[in-house]
Amino acid sequence: MIDYRRAGLLPDRPHTAFRKPDGGLYYEHCFTRHGFDGPFSIVYHAEPPQFHGEGAAIPAAFPANVKAGAPDALRRRHLRSPGLAAHGTPLTGRVPLLFNADLTLGVVRPTASDAVCFANADGDDLFYIHAGSGELRSWFGRLRFGPGDYVLVPRAVSHRFELDAGPQHWFWTECRSALRVPVQYRNPIGQLRMDAPYTHRDFRVPELSGAIDPDGPRELLVKRGDRWSRHVYRHGPLEAVGWDGTVYPFAFPILAFKPKAGQIHLPPTVHGTFATARSLVCSFVPRVVDFGRDAIPCPYPHSNVEVDEVIFYAEGDFTSRKGVDRGSLSYHPAGVVHGPQPGRYESSLGVREVNELAVMIDTFDTLELTDAALGVDVAGYDESWWETT
């Protein structure tokens, strides 16, 4: 999804006999997107990846997007995700908070490693690791991650998370259209441009040496169209000896994003990090802010009339918000004006740098709140703009 990578053992040519030391065949596995027309990787397995059975329908491993009752008012919302109880695994602990046809946004606060493998055929899963660390194990190898990392698991990649000790708190987005690098960051041959806010070297990919998940489970859960099924392999599904291509999990540290500053305020699009067909993921990182005479560093009140905005606040102090804390989310629906809270616009004059760290998702399709979101909704946020200080 970023560039071409390769790891481990590969034959010289695809679709040819590739032999093990004992003379047997390795099994080629073509992993393709957009039918056979899009980005692809080829993985080489010691065991046939299609040798599974007992496919059976099962209950959902985590709650679907549930919205009971009438649609909610178009209020500006403050959701305190630390109020959601830590529970489950990276798979079962997912709590959807906001959703539309393109995205589900939620939080995961797992307390245990995944006990089964998972392949999400409904979309690419992007995690922002607010707290915690561990290892993503997949066909592509082992990928370490820690606080401040984005972690991408492409659609339908079989994987599981093995967690380190300690609290985990992740912001999660299921992207049902593909997650990609914004097109304006690529040059005509696909390389990241000199003026892109990150480089190819900033992306970490799985390491493949030795067994990936030697004592791992043989069960694989698959979600497609929000239908869940369980499949049993005769061997552990997370094994491979080599792969190459452009589709693979990656980790990207948010602090590798190189922010731009302007003489006067630049629109949030300059913080664009990843895109889907209908949304933009932005990274707000510590930076120098607008340096021109009389520049107002605080974001202007705005009516971005086609876009719902969600921000996950990770660290630091936001120039435009008060009352939000680590792990807070704000939701500002299109159709109602939003902007700095009372006093913030004026007090930002003269500010030269900000130390905020946050992830924003702007989406063209209207989001709805789940019942779980309403359970951590902070009363009075929409009225906080009435305050005089």
Strands of the sheet with 40-45, listed across from one edge:
5-8, 242-245, 40-45, 27-32
Cβ at position 268, least distance to Fe ion in Å: 6
92 or 320: CB nearest Fe ion: 320
Cβ at position 296, least distance to Fe ion in Å: 15
| CB-CB neighbours of 322 under 10 Å | 15
CA distance 266 to 375: 35
Cβ at position 338, least distance to Fe ion in Å: 6
> Would strands 159-163 and 94-99 be described as parallel, antiparallel, or unpaired?
unpaired
Binding mask 11-30 for Fe ion (x = CB under 5 A): --------------------
Cβ at position 302, least distance to Fe ion in Å: 6
Q: What does each C-alpha distance from 325 to 108, 314, 316, 317, 322 come to in angstroms? A: 17, 8, 9, 9, 8
83 or 301: CB nearest Fe ion: 301
Cβ at position 309, least distance to Fe ion in Å: 5
Residue 356 is a binding residue for Fe ion (CB under 5 A): no
Which stretch, 178-186, 249-257, 279-287, 301-309, contacts Fe ion (CB under 5 A)? Answer: 301-309
CA distance 380 to 362: 23
Kindly tell me which residue out of 309, 356, 377, 382 binds Fe ion, with binding defined by CB under 5 A: 309
Which stretch, 242-250, 270-278, 304-312, 363-371, contacts Fe ion (CB under 5 A)? Answer: 304-312
149 or 309: CB nearest Fe ion: 309
> Would strands 124-131 and 40-45 be described as parallel, antiparallel, or unpaired?
unpaired
Count of residues near Fe ion by CB under 5 A: 1
Instruction: Retrieve residue 340's tokens.
Output: 């700095």
Nearest to 331 by CA among 72, 77, 73, 74: 77
Phi/psi-derived region of residue 35, left when phi > 0, alpha when psi is between -120 and 50, beta in every other case = left
Phi/psi-derived region of residue 294, left when phi > 0, alpha when psi is between -120 and 50, beta in every other case = left
202 or 309: CB nearest Fe ion: 309
Query: Residue number with the shortest CB distance to Fe ion?
Result: 309
Which stretch, 125-133, 289-297, 303-311, 372-380, contacts Fe ion (CB under 5 A)? Answer: 303-311
Per the DSSP assignment, residues forming a β-bridge with 311 are: 330, 360
Helix/strand/coil percentages in the chain, nearest 5:
10, 35, 55
Cβ at position 352, least distance to Fe ion in Å: 22
Cβ at position 339, least distance to Fe ion in Å: 7
**268 touches 362 (CB < 8 A):** yes
29 or 302: CB nearest Fe ion: 302
Q: Which residues contact Fe ion (rule: CB under 5 A)?
A: 309
